[in-house]
Amino acid sequence: MTKLIIKNKFAKSDYDIHSTYECGISLFGWEVKSLRSNNGNLNNSFCSITNKNELWLNNLYIAQYMLVKGDSYRSRKLLMHKREIIKMRTIMDKLSLQILPVSIYWKNNHIKVEIALAKRLKKYDKREKIKELEVKKRIKNIIY
């Protein structure tokens, strides 16, 4: 059973998604309580891989919970197996892709992050994508 907490609105429209992965996230208690009340934002957030093959989520905004003092934009560690991170890094380097978070959700009482290897679309690519979707909608309406 999954329950969506936050979704990156611009991920599917601004990027061409190559593949997606699911990983855990390391959070403080107040951050979990804040996410439980849907107080977060994925705008301008991205993931990075360090030299020690660790995956970090940067620029994720989680609102302050009550009077707790903490950094809302701190970098948070993503929990994946090292071999998966290494495989992701090789694909990323070969195809010159970026890692970005697509959504954050609850799964079996754990907070999970869905990340994607994606390539940013140019303006003309976005237009072509919109045209294709409109053509598919028209065909669907004609058939039914």
CATH class in words for 2-143: mainly beta
In this prediction the pTM is 0.83
Mean pLDDT of the chain: 92
Position of tokens 């890692």? 99
| Span 110-137, pLDDT tens digits | 999 999 999 988 888 888 888 988 999 9
Structural domain spans, the chain:
2-143
Whether residue 30 is predicted with pLDDT greater than 90 in this model: the reply is yes
List Cα–Cα distances, 60 to 77, 102, 126, 139, in angstroms: 11, 12, 25, 40
Instruction: Copy the structure tokens of residue 65.
Output: 């919970």
| Span 8-27, pLDDT tens digits | 988 888 888 999 999 999 99
How much helix, strand and coil, in percent to the nearest 5, is found in the chain?
A: 35, 40, 30
**101 within 8 A of 35, measured Cβ to Cβ:** no
